Amino acid sequence: MDPVAETEFRAWAAARQGAMFRTAFLLTGHRQDAEDLLQGALAKLAQRWTRISSDGSPDAYVRRILYHDLISWRRLARNRRERAHPDVGDFGVTADSASTSAVRLAVAQALARLTPRQRTVIVLRFYSDLPEAEVAKIMSCSIGTVRSQTHRTLARLRTMCPELSEILETV
Amino acid sequence: MTSHLRHELHALVDDVPTADVIDRALGTMRDRRRRRTAAGGAAVLATAVAIALPLTLTGASTVPITAGTPARYCWTVAPDMSTSALGPTGTAILSHLPDGYVADDEYRTEVCGTWGDVPTLPLDPVRMYNVTEARPDGMTVLMLVLRADVMPVTFANSLPTFTEPACAHALQSLATFGRSGEATTTGGGPAPEATMTMTWPDPSGLSSDTPTPPPISGDVTPSSPATPGAALVPHSQFCHKATATSPLVLGWRTVWATIVVSIGRDGRAIFAQLTRAPAGSPTAPITQKQLIALVTDPTLLAQLAQG
């Protein structure tokens, strides 16, 4: 990577790694895993920085890598016996009121119990606020698949966490 | 309401401090490029030599492994830890190098993992894996994972031919270190020629007996002073013994032996090795994260370095 490209890459990464890290954090539920996931994605981006930056969409590329690496990790680790925090991950649920805290905790638990694919749909649609077409591109699937995944995931969230029913009933 | 769900998702992570991984990512990228250009099929055989001989020395191949029975291990670390600082957060790239195969980007993406993923990989018993991390401080960490009940002693006759001098130096050293044990335990063929300057001491003093690790204690208990470059002491005295506060039991379905080779900037090799604990030791589970923490804990390694 030449110095000019590296400078550009560093500038972009410094500006965007916060948002990407939070996305990775939501996807993994664990800070350390999120760091590793993001580091790997940024390394892949750096390898192809000139081409990706000229295409104008490093964000989409990094999100795509985050998703596919997450799936790969889970596939490799599916026989893993232990997880440090299987339920709520490293999310710090510090809320201003008890009821808010309960809902937030329920959201964290629900996210942890979703499959990586379902969690990705929820995070990209409702956290990153991406349109369905963009989500479909990131996940390498059709728009219809994104819609159906979103529908099923929200239904599953309602089933798994009654606390969420109230906030999800009109989604 | 969509906005409500959005609000909750943002509330979960918006206050989380961001990690700065740019330098680490660039380091990983450079390491991948370096290895892509430097990797060669000969590395597989050299890796096998480095794995097989120390494992043979510790007797890993001589004890039958019963399916479903957890194997007891303790952690032994070589004394020369002066250059050791295994990074606790660096991402290690797992390269699967069977039969001279050099992983390309796509394949590497498929099998890429972190330290934490290493023990859970669906490893092929007759293949070897290595995890290599080139750190910004110039240190290379090579992690070798091999099934303990598959001992490719036939690889021991192969000469390591590495393109990177530091790797060659380290692995040659390991091969030399394990040569005596290989000969006495397996009666194998001619030992590999060591063509490079050794950092490890002269192997003539190696004990022919496979040492039994001591009972696991809560402390780091050096059994001999670190004497890099001096006359070799038996393996049982050569290594510092260090474990966590509880005995280590790896509850994996298959028993693996793991060697972590750390190559300092000065080219000297140090290695940590997972070996069997004596029969009858009390057992307790260890999580993979604990194991990885043990490998990568700089505090523990610093203690080991000081003896």
**Quick one: what percent of chain B has pLDDT higher than 90?**
0
User: Among residues 241-280 of chain B, which lie with CB inside 8 Å of chain A?
Assistant: 251-253
Provide, as residue numbers in chain A, all residues whose Cβ is less than 8 Å from the Cβ of B14.
22
Please, what's the largest Cα pairwise distance for chain A? 54
Angle CA(A44)–CA(A147)–CA(B1) in degrees, nearest 5?
105
CA distance A79 to chain B (A): 6
Name the 3-class secondary structure at B275: strand
Mutation pick from B2, B6, B7, B8 vs chain A, by most beta carbons of A within 10 Å, is B8
CA distance A121 to chain B (A): 13
- If we measure between CA atoms, which residue out of B116, B13, B29, B59 comes closest to residue A81? B116
Name the 3-class secondary structure at B92: coil
Q: Is any Cβ of chain A less than 8 angstroms from the Cβ of B111?
A: yes
pLDDT digits (tens, 9 = 90+) for B73-122: 222 222 222 222 222 222 222 222 223 323 233 222 222 222 233 332 23
CA distance A11 to B252: 43
pLDDT digits (tens, 9 = 90+) for B213-258: 232 222 222 233 333 332 222 222 222 222 222 222 222 222 223 3
Contact A42 B21 (CB under 8 A): yes
pLDDT, mean of residues A152-171: 73
The pLDDT mean for chain B works out to: 38
Contact B12 A68 (CB under 8 A): no
What pLDDT score does A135 carry?
93
A16 close to B22: Cβ distance less than 8 angstroms: no
Given its phi and psi angles, is residue B283 left (phi above 0), alpha (psi -120 to 50 degrees) or beta?
Answer: beta
pLDDT digits (tens, 9 = 90+) for A10-36: 999 999 888 999 999 899 887 777 888
CA distance A67 to chain B (A): 12
Please give the structure tokens belonging to residue A156.
């599953």
Classify strands B93-96 and B129-134 as parallel, antiparallel or unpaired: antiparallel
What's the sign of the alpha-carbon dihedral A115, B12, B109, B125?
negative
B94 close to B81: Cβ distance less than 8 angstroms: no
Is the ipTM value over 0.90, yes or no? no
Please give the structure tokens belonging to residue A64.
């795509």
- If we measure between CA atoms, which residue out of B26, B137, B21 comes closest to residue B89? B21
- Band of pLDDT at residue A108, cut at 50, 70 and 90: confident
Minimum-distance CB partner of B8 among A21, A32, A107: A107
What pLDDT score does B259 carry?
39
- If we measure between CA atoms, which residue out of B268, B297, B290, B213 comes closest to residue B79? B268
B51 close to B259: Cβ distance less than 8 angstroms: yes
CA distance A126 to A124: 6
pLDDT digits (tens, 9 = 90+) for B176-215: 333 322 222 222 233 222 222 222 222 233 233 333 323 2
- Band of pLDDT at residue A100, cut at 50, 70 and 90: low
pLDDT, mean of residues B55-82: 30
